[in-house]
Amino acid sequence: MATPDAIAEQPQISVIVPARNEEACLATCLESLVAQTGTAFEIIVVNDHSTDRTREIAMSFPGVRIIDAGPLPDGWTGKNNAVVAGAREARGRWLLFTDADTVHLPGSLARALAEAQENHADLLSYSPEQIAVTFWEMATLPVVFAELARQYPPSKVSDPNFPAAAANGQYILVKREAYDAVGGHTAVAGDILEDVALSRAVKASGRKIRFRYAADAVRTRMYRNFRQLRDGWTKNLALLFPSPGRLAVKSLILWVVPWTVLFLVLVGVVRHWWWSTIFVAAFLYLMARITRANFPSDMNLLAATFGMAMFAYLLLRSKRAHTKNSVQWKGRTYSDKGRQLAPGH
């Protein structure tokens, strides 16, 4: 548990955890946070109108502050409303926004602060190690994160000379002064992709951001069943990629070609040896595209076999949901700009 000197009068870091119906994972997250050492910190859990045991679990951790998100203003997303409520109560010089489904490795909080300071970064964001358990998690996540790595190369995101900006909302450590200067989450209140929007605001202000894959610091299991995976990526994918329809078609073509050739070879429709060469070349290209992400080879193989088609489906589903201005997440329905369309507190 957090020691008295960790919860200091003036904490160096305020850890803000927005939580809406997170009883499945919140305890594990908080266990990993209260055990951090090496820097003074406070932990604030923002209960976002949960109907499960989220508040009760948070209250079981001494020293953790629990506040309520308050009514959801028109035009705001639920998460932005929650993190702004947390930031309003925070006393730290740095703010760490982290999700309830994350697990923080020992000492990672102090190391992250040191990394941000050593690199003169006003915003440091980690892409956590992704834990996959179910079939569709293992098949889909390598494709999604490989394509994200192509769209948002961490080296360019971290380079002040490139305009590209990105962040992962599961772990954003930002200097309080920089956060306030760009308007914080209030300035991006209606953005469903609040993490990317915040990173763009910070970088556009002339401040430095740093973004990297960080299996050495944090891990997460984003979705625990197919429905959560489907709805989560439906919410995000069309906003993460500039031409989701085109990317869906391209992904389907890349997936169809090797398997069609293999089928034709196996049934004897084509017999010349170079057809087998075409299959091998197409499949190797597919694997090379997927292995840009940080997943084991067996998951990459599964992704090449099934995941590309699933990724295309999710892209098209996401595009359709955003076109119809009807994006559903955690009991709320938003328009493309974040305006809440259906009840959900």
In the prediction, which pLDDT does 209 show?
A: 98
Higher local confidence (pLDDT), 271 or 296: 296
- CB-side exposure of 249: number of CA atoms within 13 Å? 3
Residues 308 and 285: their CA atoms lie apart, in Å, by: 13
In the prediction, which pLDDT does 86 show?
A: 98
29-76 pLDDT, tens per residue? 999 999 999 999 999 999 999 999 999 999 999 999 999 999 999 989
**Domain map (residue ranges) of the chain:** 13-128+168-224, 238-331
Work out whether strand 102-104 and strand 218-220 pair parallel, antiparallel, or are unpaired.
antiparallel
Residues 149 and 290: their CA atoms lie apart, in Å, by: 10
Residues 162 and 204: their CA atoms lie apart, in Å, by: 11
Q: How confident is the model at residue 95 (pLDDT cuts 50, 70, 90)?
A: very high
And the tokens for 204? 């556009």
The three-class DSSP label of residue 213 is strand
Q: Could you give the strand order of the β-sheet that contains 340-342, starting from the edge strand earlier in sequence? A: 327-329, 332-334, 340-342
- Is 105:32 a contact under the CB 8 Å cutoff? yes
And the tokens for 289? 């595209």
Residues 233 and 321: their CA atoms lie apart, in Å, by: 11
- Is 174:76 a contact under the CB 8 Å cutoff? no
Count of CB atoms situated within 10 Å of the CB of 278: 18
In the prediction, which pLDDT does 329 show?
A: 84
Helix (H) or strand (E) holding 223: none
C-alpha distance across the termini of the chain, in Å? 33
Residues 275 and 345: their CA atoms lie apart, in Å, by: 58
In the prediction, which pLDDT does 335 show?
A: 65
Work out whether strand 171-175 and strand 94-98 pair parallel, antiparallel, or are unpaired.
antiparallel
Residues 241 and 125: their CA atoms lie apart, in Å, by: 19
What global pTM score does this model have?
0.91
3.20.20.450, 3.40.718.10, 3.30.230.70, 3.90.550.10: CATH of 13-128+168-224: 3.90.550.10
- Is 156:162 a contact under the CB 8 Å cutoff? yes
Q: How confident is the model at residue 1 (pLDDT cuts 50, 70, 90)?
A: very low
DSSP code at position 342: E
217-226 pLDDT, tens per residue? 999 999 999 9
In the prediction, which pLDDT does 125 show?
A: 98
